[in-house]
């Protein structure tokens, strides 16, 4: 039986690869829809990018919904310096022919969860958690309906990538992130601690180009564009593929390891805004800080990339 998922995203080249991986894995995943959120670039562009990605995969029957255009309480912070002015800089992609749905993304999430049996849908947020938190606020009954949230966000040992203390997704909307963390929903978290282990080395990047399909060539140019930022910033051999870790976990969880811990998000301090306060060593009292997150710490990077190559070569 295929796992039913909703991808909530702010594409982003790495978001794009995650979406393509989910589309390629039809044997295991049923993508019910894609909801766009403001993050890497403004909402108009993240929505358009989601449509473009579907056209790359020739999967134009998947519905795309535009969601929240700003964080719950903050001014939007974007990341064009990493992903380019369009969010998908790299290859030249045509304007999408398919259109977004009229329904708001938050309402799509709520309605879809209500229409399906309890604990049958997994939410896969790849960007700021504004849409997910907004759905919880608007319809608290959906909390009991969600099977699991598997998300990319946060950090502990790797601290921050947008400030010294915070990872980008949680920094953009810390209030939303904390609402999700405190929701009582089963959560698996892919922090920078894991994603910084799956680097797009020169050899791995070339393998995308050599997959034998047009999608692989497009991915190669996406990677070539966005890895420049990380290579300069971290002096690393490539850039992390953050968001595909979410989909890879759904397909092969044994690639990852971690532990269940308490995670809360800093919302009050401007110095540490969006910081993942992760009790990895069990310092706090379980009664005061119950373990609410399956926090991933390690990944088999070679196995991760082999999974990507095996699935992505199935696409056009």
The total number of residues shown for the chain amounts to 316
Q: What is the DSSP pairing of strand 276-278 with strand 263-265? A: antiparallel
* Cis omega (within 30 of 0) for bond into 12: yes
Catalytic residue numbers?
A: 242
Q: How many CB atoms lie within 10 A of CB 201?
A: 16
The DSSP code for 25 is -
Q: Which two tokens stand for residue 113?
A: 């969860």
Asked if 57 and 23 count as a contact pair (C-beta separation under 8 A), the reply is yes
Q: Which two tokens stand for residue 251?
A: 């397909």
Cα first-last separation, the chain: 25
Asked if 262 and 290 count as a contact pair (C-beta separation under 8 A), the reply is yes
Measured distance CA(213)–CA(224) in Å, rounded: 17
User: Quick one: residue 7, left, alpha or beta (phi over 0 = left, psi -120 to 50 = alpha)?
Assistant: beta
């Amino acid at each position: 039986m295929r796992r039913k998922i909703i991808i909530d995203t702010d594409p982003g080249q790495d978001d794009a690869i995650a979406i393509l991986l989910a589309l390629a894995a039809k044997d295991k995943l049923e993508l019910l829809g894609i909801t766009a959120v403001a993050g890497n670039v403004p909402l108009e562009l993240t929505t358009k990018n989601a449509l473009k990605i579907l056209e790359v995969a020739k999967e134009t029957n998947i519905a795309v919904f535009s969601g929240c255009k700003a964080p719950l309480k903050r001014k939007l912070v974007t990341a064009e310096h990493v992903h380019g002015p369009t969010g998908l800089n790299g290859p030249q992609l045509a304007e999408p022919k398919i259109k977004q749905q009229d329904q708001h993304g938050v309402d799509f999430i709520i309605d879809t969860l209500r229409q399906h049996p309890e604990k049958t849908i997994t939410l896969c947020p790849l960007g700021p958690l504004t849409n997910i938190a907004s759905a919880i606020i608007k319809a608290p009954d959906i909390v009991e309906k969600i099977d699991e949230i598997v998300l990319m966000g946060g950090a502990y040992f790797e601290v921050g990538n947008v400030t010294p203390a915070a990872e980008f997704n949680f920094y953009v909307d810390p209030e939303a992130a904390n609402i999700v963390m405190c929701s009582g929903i089963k959560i698996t978290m892919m922090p920078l601690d894991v994603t910084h282990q799956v680097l797009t080395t020169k050899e791995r990047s070339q393998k995308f180009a050599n997959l034998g399909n047009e999608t692989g060539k497009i991915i190669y140019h996406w990677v070539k564009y966005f890895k420049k930022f990380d290579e300069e910033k971290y002096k690393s051999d490539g850039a992390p593929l953050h968001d595909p870790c979410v989909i890879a976990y759904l397909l092969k969880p044994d690639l990852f390891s971690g532990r269940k811990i308490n995670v809360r998000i800093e919302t009050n301090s401007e110095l540490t805004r969006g910081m993942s306060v992760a009790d990895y060593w069990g310092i706090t009292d379980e009664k005061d800080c119950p373990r609410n997150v399956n926090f991933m710490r390690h990944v088999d990077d070679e196995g991760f990339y082999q999974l990507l190559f095996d699935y992505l070569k199935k696409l056009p």
